[in-house]
Amino acid sequence: MEKQLSIVIPCYNVAEYLPATLDSILLRQNFSFMEVILINDGSTDGTLEVIKKYKERYNDVVRYISISNSGVGVARNLGIQEAIGEYILFIDGDDMLFDSILPQWMEYIYRNTLDIAFTGYEDRDWDDKGKLGENKNYLEGIYTGEEILIKKLKKQIWICTGNAIYRTQILKRNNLKYSVSYRYGEDAEFIGKCLLNSLRVSSLNKQGLIIMVRRTSAMLTVSFEKYKDAIHAFENLQNYAFNFSISSALRNAFAFDYLNLYLGIVKILFKNTKRYDKKLLINLSDIEYPCWSIPVKVKKRVEIMLYRKFPFLYFRFVHIYYFLKQNRWKHIK
């Protein structure tokens, strides 16, 4: 049977969560033209036993490979190497797909001869399944990859691991892989490079991915050093992009994204510090300043002004913001 889609799932100590992920793919999609490639990344918690059970139950669909613990980038790259589907989807071992989304997603891809098709996604709390937020990514029409990258950098759409399907040939032909030297930001770099090598990209305009947020996950424990990794990933993507295009729209979009990334690392630094001290800013001395004068909305302009002119006040606002955010977790229904 022809494999239209390869679904690559890196698995590291996800024995508790993986069944929900696999059931969302294998039981609730009504789509058989696929393969599921599970990369057991040196798990020690029983993940391999879960994988073997699903392999036995879905032998014609599920493949698995076990490697020593090497990180999610290595696991995904191995999945790219092994994939035989015309298209490829990456999903984490603790996330899920919306019911019956794959047939709609793939039909839309083939009808429009797309290189990349993305959906919206929803964040849910793993413990009580409460909805934390969503990004619908509603966008009509077909665009070039550069046009979509500009929208992504400007925060007009949100593409992450799990809500985009890629033409496999584009990845293999252009040797597109996940960087393995970062702890954070490798997905944004990979997505950007894939977009730049794609001519036909579009949104399905439906919700496709459910990101199950665990309170102990890396999503909630972003450190200052991890954010610095994200800056390195940004720089690599920007250098790569400027070999494709030097359009003013793309340059402005990168400047906007870097501004947000810089303020993000400031927030993490402030959040993880109990008392304000001017010496705090020394930690940022080796990080390039963003362009403060680029056009932004009023809310962002106020944030910039607070940080540059009243860093102590900005420090206080950051702590209030994270206090309210943490308190929100306690009241999710």
For residue range 23-79, what is the model confidence (pLDDT) as tens digits?
Answer: 999 999 989 899 999 999 999 999 999 999 999 999 999 999 999 999 999 999 999
Report the 10 Å Cβ neighbour count for 286: 7
pLDDT the model gives residue 225: 78
pLDDT the model gives residue 221: 53
Q: How far is CA 304 from CA 85, 124, 312, in A?
A: 46, 31, 13
Secondary structure class of 324 (helix, strand, coil): helix
Assess whether pLDDT exceeds 70 at residue 333: no
Assess whether pLDDT exceeds 50 at residue 102: yes
From the centroid of its chain, how far is CA 248? 26
pLDDT the model gives residue 332: 46
116-125 vs 164-167, strand pairing mode: antiparallel
Residue 214 · residue 258 · CB < 8 Å? no
pLDDT the model gives residue 128: 66
Q: Cα–Cα distance between 182 and 198 in angstroms, integer?
A: 24
| Mean of per-residue pLDDT scores for the chain | 91
- Of the chain, the percentage scoring pLDDT greater than 70 comes to 94
Q: How far is CA 135 from CA 54, 129, 155, in A?
A: 31, 17, 11
Assess whether pLDDT exceeds 50 at residue 219: no
- Of the chain, the percentage scoring pLDDT greater than 90 comes to 77
Instruction: Locate 245 and state its tokens.
Output: 């295009």
Residue 29 · residue 103 · CB < 8 Å? yes
pLDDT the model gives residue 1: 55
Residue 33 · residue 84 · CB < 8 Å? no
